[in-house]
Structures are given as C-alpha cells and as structure tokens.
Amino acid sequence: MPEGKIIKALSGFYYVLNEDGITQCRGRGVFRKNKITPLVGDEVVFQAENDIEGYILEVRDRKNELVRPPIANVDQSILVFSALEPEFSTTLLDRFLVLVEYNQIEPIICITKIDLINSEQLAKLNSYVEDYQKAGYEVIMTSSETDAGIEELFPRLDGKISVFAGQSGVGKSSLLNAIRPDLDLKTDDISSHLGRGKHTTRHVELIKVGNGLVADTPGFSSLEFTGIEVEELNYCFPEFEKASENCKFRGCQHIAEPKCAVKAGVDTGEIPKYRYKHYKEFLQEIKDRKPRY
C-alpha cells in the first residue's frame, strides 16, 4: 500500500503528499469508531481509488502533536521574535520555549528586524543571545530588509516539518517571503494564505519551502501551560535540568530547598536571573492552575 504525509486537512478531506504527487483522501469509518482523527503532519498508509482520490487506512504512530494548530510530527519550531516593533521580550520567549521543550520539539530562536536597532540596543540584545546560546539554544539574527541571516536559516528547514511561531507583527511573513519570494505573502497575512483568512474555512496547511515543509501558527494552545505538571517544568529549562543534578534533594523545585544547585547558579551568574524569575512565575502559574479543595 502507498504511504505519504498529510499536508492539508479540509472539510473531511486529507491531502496526502506521496511519491506520485498529492492524493485527496477520506478517512475510513474505523477512525471515527476508534476516536482517531488524522492530523496534518501524520504519516499515513492509504489506498488509491484512482490517480487523485483514495482512502486513509492507517495513521502511523506520532512523535508529538499540537492542539492549536492541530498538527503532528513537528520536527522544529522557529520562534520568531523581533529586535524592535514589538520589543524583544524574554518573558514571552521563555514561555514559548517551555511549550516547545514540553512537546519535545527542537527550537530555533530567530530574531528579526535587526536592521532597526542601534549599536547600544544591539549590545543589549547580544547579551541575551549569549545567555540563550549558553543554555544550548541556536539563535539566528535576521533582517528581511537586508537579507541578513536568511542564508543561515534556509538550510535549517531542509527535510523537516517546521512551525513558525511568534506574536503578531514580528515579521513571520516577511521572513518567509525572504526565504521563498514566490509566496508573495502580505505582511501579517500568512494565515490567509494558509486558509485562515476572514472569508475562508479555517484549516492547517503545510507549504513547501526549500526541501522542507512549513506551517505558521500564532502559538501553542494559547500559550497556556495546560498539561505541564510542577515536577516537569524543570526539564523545560535545559540549564536548570543540568544544574539540578547537583541539588541536594531529588525533585528539588529550586524555590526554598537548601543546597539547591540552580539557586547557586543564579547567585554566581551561571544562570541568568531573568530566566530564574520566569521559572518561578511559571511554576506558580502551574500551581495556581491545580484545583483547590
């Protein structure tokens, strides 16, 4: 049986990219019975009725799935943040990073609009970049106006399903236009191109960029920490996870416990104070989410 990847789901039809092109498929009734909903990004086995139509017979196991947008098997997330307009926010970036880490998706931090900042602002931004690189993250500085960083980002998309995520106005559309000019996306209009405009049916679609596939989304489940437990947050901060191996107590939450290696790392400057501040805020948010009896 032929196999392929779902690149678009719309009105009960699934468009499966395979070696012969794209086949429009429906799901078998057994999926509804077993409460399985095929998602964009799924690897599937299908039966072709003819050259253009068929039925999905099996959905392969997923390595991850997101709720909003409904998409599976995401390899990496390009977290797009602007240097200016809107101003670079470590709080929002750390929130995105936690959600990406929790979903076991490889993050790449992409800072746009670097052509808009002066030398003093650049120096401040570079200090943040060094912090995130030290924590193990890849950071690419870009400008859609000057094409700076585009050649560095483009090959990172090859052979992968990538989700471009970030707040409105950071330049996701401009960035994708710079990477693939024929898309000709209007600024902040990528959602319309993907079928999520005012007069089109809401759906998710993967578009081909280079040798990879890209989806655009404003965020993950409205950026809420739904499903993340207190003891899991530590693992969403790579430098905390590494330092916590030297904490006195197993399962240390790095708040009031004695001989905490994470707090010691903050005191010595090994761990940035703002990252620790965000960790405490996120931890409290998760605790407050739990039902009180």
Only one residue has tokens 């090859």, namely 158
- The pLDDT of residue 190 is 41
Q: Which class would CATH give 226-289?
A: mainly alpha
- How long a stretch of residues is the chain? 293
- The pLDDT of residue 217 is 61
Name the CATH architecture for the domain at 3-60: Beta Barrel (2.40)
Sites in the chain below the pLDDT cut of 70: 30, 185-203, 216-222, 290-293
- Residue 48: what residue type? A
- The pLDDT of residue 282 is 97
Q: Which residues pair with 110 in a beta bridge?
A: 80, 140
Q: What is the 3-state secondary structure (H, E, C) of 178-225?
A: HHCHHHCCCCCCHHHHCCCCCCCCCCCECEEECCEEEEEECCCHHHCC
Only one residue has tokens 């079928």, namely 195
Q: Which class would CATH give 71-222?
A: alpha beta
- The pLDDT of residue 168 is 80
For residue 266, is it left (φ>0), alpha (ψ between -120 and 50) or beta? Answer: alpha
Residue 67 · residue 221 · CB < 8 Å: yes
- The pLDDT of residue 238 is 97
- The pLDDT of residue 210 is 87
- The pLDDT of residue 194 is 41
Residue 149 · residue 143 · CB < 8 Å: yes
- The pLDDT of residue 202 is 54
Q: Which residues pair with 16 in a beta bridge?
A: 6, 23
- The pLDDT of residue 201 is 34
The residue ranges of every structural domain in the chain are 3-60, 71-222, 226-289
pTM attached to this predicted model: 0.88
pLDDT tens-digit series, residues 49-67 = 887 899 999 999 999 988 7
